[in-house]
Amino acid sequence: METARVFFGLSAAVVVPWGLGWQLSRPWLMVLFTAVYGGYVIGPYGMESKPWAALGAVVLLASSAALWLHSSSTPGLGFSVTLPPISGTVGMTRRVGVATFGAAAVLSVWAAGGTTVSLGVELLSSDRAAIFFSGLLVAVFGGGTLAKVATGPVRREIDSLPDGTERDAALEFMSGGSNIGVLERGLLFAFLAAGQPEAAALVLAAKSLARVPTSEHGKQASEYFLLGTLASVIASLAMSMAARAAVGLPVL
């Protein structure tokens, strides 16, 4: 299962930042995520050379993308730090809140004792957990990229419509599509990976009832809804089948 863990994990390390658009807005954060998540993936096999070589390849790929897309100048880190980060009365309240949360977390870990540590180590070293979690990330964020590509012509057609009720209605319908798509793909992958396709069908039925476009939205909105839904289904189904096959389960 080592090969499947490395393949799924490094695929997620590359796909997630691209799905979030970090290659343009936060290039070096993309490189950092690729390195950190890739390190988690190859952790149990850190004594072998091939996993390290694979990790080096994807980090170099992410770095080359960051440099290529920002060749005119040195790309920024994608975030900035201002010291002190918080000031004033509101800042003090927030600092107290963060400190309280940290104390609660420490007390919770201490109360749970060694059981929490052993479970955490077991979860991090579990090949099955890594494969399914990486498959989930690829389905959610890679599927988002697929949905953007599939719906791109429709979105451009809507943008080119003259100002009016039809264009406003279509844009309003599309406004929540991205966030809904993330939840949709996550739920579809979870149910399909768990071997419950009937529950996955209920997710699609619930979406259709809550978000079906009407005649007021225009035919472009209907095409956007159909293409986006099909892209989400394809991504979730393909990744769930691949993940189940990788751990030795029936694909459905």
- Tokens matching residue 190: 């979870």
Distance from C-alpha of 53 to C-alpha of 12, rounded to nearest angstrom: 17
- Tokens matching residue 174: 């599309």
Instruction: Give the model's pLDDT for residue 74.
Output: 47
State yes or no: pLDDT of 245 exceeds 80. Answer: yes
State yes or no: pLDDT of 28 exceeds 80. Answer: yes
| 101-159 residue pLDDT tens | 777 777 766 666 666 667 677 777 888 999 999 999 999 999 999 999 999 998 888 88
Length, in residues, of the chain: 252
Would the CA dihedral through 228, 231, 235, 240 be positive or negative? positive
Written as one string, the DSSP assignment of 79-144 is: ----SSS--HHHHHHHHHHHHHHHHHHHHHHHHHTHHHHHHHHHHHH-HHHHHHHHHHHIIIIIHH
Instruction: Give the model's pLDDT for residue 121.
Output: 74
State yes or no: pLDDT of 225 exceeds 80. Answer: yes
Instruction: Give the model's pLDDT for residue 39.
Output: 92
pTM, rounded to two decimals:
0.78
State yes or no: pLDDT of 181 exceeds 50. Answer: yes
